[in-house]
Amino acid sequence: MKVVIPLADGFEEIEAMSTIDVLRRANISVTTAGIPGTIVKGSRGTQTIADRKLSEIDMNSFDALVLVGGYPGYVNLSKSNQVLDAVKSFNAKGKTIAAICAAPSILAKAGILDNRKATIYPGMEKDIPRPRPGRVVQDGHIITSQGPGTAIEFALKVVEALAGSGASAKLRRDLVC
């Protein structure tokens, strides 16, 4: 399984790093893709070097797309036509799409949440069409979560979707969740 995680300036560090770490612990290949370049600054000022520039990535070569929140990271992601096109393409192909914090609003902007249940950062419920309570909400191939405090639970749900419940349960035990 191959996952792409686009990172734009202002991304939420806890959500990004926790998800990357948990997925890699499950032996899932993760590629981080910086927008516009490979040096990306998180919402708390942490500089990160992405594996590649998003413009260099063939999104069709990935099995899953994970979008993290953070301000203004999610706004910057939502301005990327490549990200919006990937969301639509992954959805059309039934590939796993996961979004945490404010990032579910990007899925709504792409028009893929109209008939789906999802969650989002508390207070942003108006930004998605069918908000549901819950730390992590899965509706088919779409996984959404509320924020930094739900990052590990979110990542474990992505592992479950991509590698099965056994892999997720093992990691849950190993991480003492």
Q: Would you give the DSSP letter of residue 136?
A: E
Query: Active site includes 101?
Result: yes
With 0-12 / 13-18 / 19 or more C-beta atoms within 10 angstroms meaning exposed / middle / buried, residue 80 is middle
Q: Is 123 exposed, middle or buried (0-12, 13-18, 19+ CB in 10 A)?
A: exposed
Report yes or no: 41 and 67 within 8 Å, Cβ to Cβ. Answer: no
The active-site residue out of 65, 101, 143, 151 is 101
Annotated active-site positions, please? 101
